[in-house]
Amino acid sequence: MIAGFKQRILEGKPLCIRGAGSKDFYGNPPQGEILDTRTHSGIVAYEPTELYVTAKCGTPIAEIEAALAAQGQFLAFEPPRFSPDSTVGGAVAAGLSGPRRVSAGALRDFVLGVKLLDGAARELTFGGQVMKNVAGYDVSRVIAGSLGTLGLITEVSLKVLPQPVADATLRFEMAQAVALDKLNRWAGRPLPIVASAWQNDVLTIRLAGARAAVEAAKLKVGVGETADGTCWDVLRNQTADFFKTETLWRLSVPSTAPELKLPGEQLIEWGGALRWLKSDAPAEMIRAAAAAVGGSATLYRASAELKAQVDAFAPLPAPLMALHQNLKAAFDPQGIFNPGRLYKEF
């Protein structure tokens, strides 16, 4: 498989690296000839007591999660599964994390190592399988979220964790401003709140951890209505009705940012730090609102016409863009991998 990948790279034509294609919508429109990673699939190693799993890039996330579940473990960053075939390589390249990100950490926090083919088809190995490793630059974490622009990920090692013993979901009727305040106050106390979602004046929170901790926390957060936990998977996989829209913005802001007065409907995750916005307001207006509170706005889903006009990701200051271009050139000087997918400039 690797030999086939190398050959494609050495042909020197722009390549669109693609797993199941479930994230084709994400980033700027894909360009180049498709290189399908799914031919390189399978779990290479999984050692529950070492808390890691190593898998080839084309391995479905679902396959990995099934193997972990059999041992009572899970991927705590909850990568969204947009399709049953979504691959681990695609998940790492996109760098997206699910509802639990606010407590467990992001995908990049769980990346222990990667194997990569660079623009000259060299096989490079960074990081490894151990939890603590500071030998050499932490290239693996940079690969997370790089949207395949730095190289073809062929293998990844991820940290895994035991599933929490107890789990509870509570629901409260609450206006947005009140919910944001509550979430930030709760986060300053030692409470096992692992995820949250606010929409249409309803705040839902998820408690997880030791049984005693979850029971004690239920009393501390106040009387809410107990709900069933299936809503979290719906949220994670973005299959809820809210996400069925043509134009969707993803605003990453400080959790304490006040209610953003933007036209359209909002869904708020991560204790206030992630605000989804369904809106046809002009891009400049949305980007300015996010920047004003110290965050940024991504045009997450949009029609081809809109994507052609508006960059998916917020613009970078010039010195930071220069570093991006230098780093891109360090791994892919010919600009073969996913050209323009992250920024038009490279």
Partner 1 sequence: MTTRSHSHERDQDFSDVDRAALLQALAAVLPAAALLADHEDLKPYECDGLSAYRRVPLAVALPEDEAQVVGVLKACHRLGVPVVARGAGTGLSGGALPNEHGVVLSLAKMKRILKLDPYSRTAVVQPGVRNLAISEAAAPHGLYYAPDPSSQLACTIGGNIAENSGGVHCLKYGLTVHNVLRVRGVTMAGEIVEFGSAALDSPGYDLLALLIGSEGLLAVVTEVTVKLVPKPEVARVIMASFDAVTKAGAAVADIIAAGIIPAGLEMMDKAATRAVEPFVKAGYDLNAEAILLAESDGTPEEVEEEIAAMRAVLEKSGASEIRVSTDDAERLRFWAGRKAAFPAVGSISPDYYCMDGTIPRKRLAEMLMAIAEMEKKYGLRCVNVFHAGDGNLHPLILYDANVPGQLERTEAFGAEILALTVQLGGTITGEHGVGFEKIGSMCVQFASDELAAFHRVKAAFDPQGLLNPDKAIPTLHRCAEFGRMHVHQGQLSHPELERF
Binding mask 44-63 for partner 1 (x = CB under 8 A): ---xxxxx------------
Residues in 6-45 that interact with partner 1 by CB under 8 A: none
CA–CA separation, 164 and 195 (whole Å): 13
Q: Which is nearer to partner 1, 22 or 269 (CB)?
A: 269
Considering only residues 187 through 246, tell me which ones interact with partner 1, judged by CB under 8 A. 187-192, 209-213, 215-217
Size of site (CB under 8 A) for partner 1: 84
What is the nearest approach in angstroms of partner 1 to the Cβ of residue 119?
A: 11
The reply on whether position 344 binds partner 1 by CB under 8 A is no
What is the rounded CA–CA span in Å between residue 4 and residue 310?
Answer: 35
Residue 255 touches partner 1, criterion: CB under 8 A: yes
Residue 144 Rama label (left phi>0; alpha psi -120 to 50; beta): beta
Q: Does 82 bind partner 1 (CB under 8 A)?
A: no
Compute the least distance from the CB of residue 279 to partner 1, in Å.
Answer: 19
Site for partner 1 in 256-295 (CB under 8 A): 256, 270, 273-274, 294-295
Beta bridge partners of 54: 45, 157
3-state class (DSSP) for residue 23: coil
Secondary structure (DSSP) of 60-101:
BHHHHHHHHHTTTEE-TT----SSTT-BHHHHHHHT---TTH
Strand partners, 250: 276, 298
Alpha carbons 217 and 198: distance in angstroms, whole number: 19
Residues 93-132, interacting with partner 1 (CB under 8 A): 95, 101-102, 105-106, 108-109, 118, 122-126, 128-132
Residue closer to partner 1 (CB basis): 24 or 345: 345
Residue 308 C-beta: closest distance to partner 1, Å: 19
Does 133 participate in binding partner 1 (rule CB under 8 A)?
yes
Two tokens, residue 212 = 């005693």
Q: Is residue 145 a contact point for partner 1 (CB under 8 A)?
A: yes
Considering the complex, state which of residue 27 and residue 58 has its C-beta at the smaller distance from partner 1.
27
d(CA 38, CA 85): 9
For partner 1, which is the closer residue by CB, 51 or 227? 51
CB atoms within 10 A of CB 39: 12
Q: Which residue is associated with the tokens 């695609």?
A: 90
Q: Determine contact, residues 224/259, Cβ cutoff 8 Å.
A: no
User: Is residue 248 near partner 1 by the rule CB under 8 A?
Assistant: no
Distance from the Cα of residue 119 to its chain's centroid: 25
Tokens 């009572």, located at residue: 72
Minimum CB–partner distance for residue 106 and partner 1 (Å):
7
Q: Which is nearer to partner 1, 49 or 230 (CB)?
A: 49
Q: Tell me: does residue 142 bind partner 1 (CB under 8 A).
A: yes
Task: Give the C-alpha separation, 9 to 15, whole Å.
Answer: 8
- Pick one of 285, 326, 334, 344: the residue that binds partner 1 (CB under 8 A): 326
Q: Indicate the residue among 136 and 228 with the shorter CB distance to partner 1.
A: 136
Rule CB under 8 A: choose which of 12, 72, 263, 282 binds partner 1: 72
- Answer whether 16's CB lies under 8 Å from 2's CB: no
Element holding 266 (H helix, E strand): strand 265-269
